Structure formats: structure tokens, C-alpha cells
Amino acid sequence: MDSFTGTRPVSERHALDIDALERFLVTNLGGFAGPSLIGLIKEATHGFTVPLLTVAGILLFGSVAMLLLGDPSRAPSRKPAIAAA
């Protein structure tokens, strides 16, 4: 690693907050993916019928999966067992 002389580790102040990035991506992914998917399919099919049916199918699949698998936010929290000393 002699080619990287003069570099130093990133300071804590400038470090990437992974938790904040994950929250941002989870929160905003639907706002990007949905319109992008509709636009992509609309360009391929030259109409809105197939893109809207595709989105409806994805929502139906998600609903059925929730009914069959259950709501993950209602699952009992599992706390790791603390080993006795």
C-alpha cells in the first residue's frame, strides 16, 4: 500500500452513518422504484394498462404474502440470552 502515501483514516466526524443511510434508502426506495418501473414498462408497451396491472400484481402479491407469513412488526422480539457467569 505504498501508493497511498499521505492518506489517513476517515475521522469520526466525517464517517458515514450506516443506520441513517439504511433508513433513508428504505423510506425513499418506493418513491424511486415505483415510478421508474411504471416508466420502463410504459416505454416498452406504449400504454399504461400493463404498467398499472403490474403494480397491482405486485401489491396483491405483497398482500397475500403478509396474510400467509404474518406481519413481521408484530413478531415477538427475541432478546439474546445472557450467559450466566
- Separation between Cα atoms, residue 55 and residue 36, nearest integer Å: 11
pLDDT in tens, 18-62: 888 888 888 888 888 889 999 999 999 999 999 999 999 999 999
- Separation between Cα atoms, residue 46 and residue 44, nearest integer Å: 6
Cα–Cα distances (Å) from 7 to 10, 11, 62, in that order, read: 9, 12, 47
Q: Which residue has the cell 406481519?
A: 71
Q: Where are the domains of the chain?
A: 29-70
Under 8 Å between Cβ of 55 and 35:
no
- pTM for the full model? 0.55
